[in-house]
Structure 1
């Protein structure tokens, strides 16, 4: 009999249930975060992180709630100052998996595809993704039981012709 098709013991079933709850909690954190970015401009994105959390895209790293908040504020202003003023974005998550890293800590991995187009939805012309990146997350559960990003890293694998603002940013200017 194939290993995955045999009846499971109570201990194995408890482990599967734990894994499903963990997967759901971290997937929920990830998709709610990108919904905030796509539909609200990331105004509250910093709230998804621990106070010293890290958001990194390629070599750009934003450490701490304030720097993450500054990045999304810059991103919003930048959009209004350039031809990018009317943009629709979507961040799509796939191949998502998780593993326990401690009593209140877990890791999440996956792939993110970032699509961006001029205009409001529905965007009449679609382009290939601007970025496809691996997700490498370390998440911690706070005292209230909510998951937060300790480290939320996107490692670019494929780049489109247009550089995403998260890779073009220089907040020191």
Structure 2
């Protein structure tokens, strides 16, 4: 059973907000301002490989946006829904977190945004660190998709 100090309760709320900000950044800004959410030395494993550092992470999202909008196409909508956040403090300024995520996207789907089932259900593992400015940021991101929508 979880038992947190009052400081840890406040940190859990801040970490939950960090994850909400991360999801909002992905869904509405396509990861192009991810540099405000991750640490300078963040290790970030995406479908296209592992990136290390803010610049490499933002560049990966920039390339994705460029690919998806090539030829004047509109950016396909996507949404990430997270649930079941678990927080384990390593020390007052470091936390390991896990949560589940449902991912919806029109990308690659002939029905486009009218397709309403999840594209994938993911297990997510992150490390978060409170930095010198007092803000929590993501220092490691990994995920696995035990459920993925089949093409067609």
- TM, length-normalised to structure 1: 0.75
Residue 62 (str. 1) matches residue 54 (str. 2): no
2:86 pairs with 97, 114, 117, which one? 97
How many residue pairs match? The answer is 147
Alignment of 1:9-20 (within 5 A): 15-20=4-9
Structure 1: unaligned runs, 5 residues or longer: 5-11, 163-173
8 Å CA contact 2:96–2:128 kept in 1: the answer is yes
Residue 142 (str. 1) matches residue 144 (str. 2): no
Secondary structure of the 1:101 match is strand
Larger Rg: 1
Which residue of 2 is the match for residue 168 of structure 1?
none
Equivalents in 2 of 1:29, 1:65: separation in Å?
Answer: 16
More helix by share: 1
8 Å CA contact 2:77–2:113 kept in 1: the answer is no
- TM, length-normalised to structure 2: 0.84
Residue 27 (str. 1) matches residue 26 (str. 2): no
Out of 87-96 and 45-54, give the one that drifted further. 45-54
Residue 43 (str. 1) matches residue 4 (str. 2): no
Out of 77-86 and 39-48, give the one that drifted further. 77-86
Structure 2: unaligned runs, 5 residues or longer: none
Deviation at 1:41? 1.7
Compute the RMSD of aligned alpha carbons.
Answer: 2.4
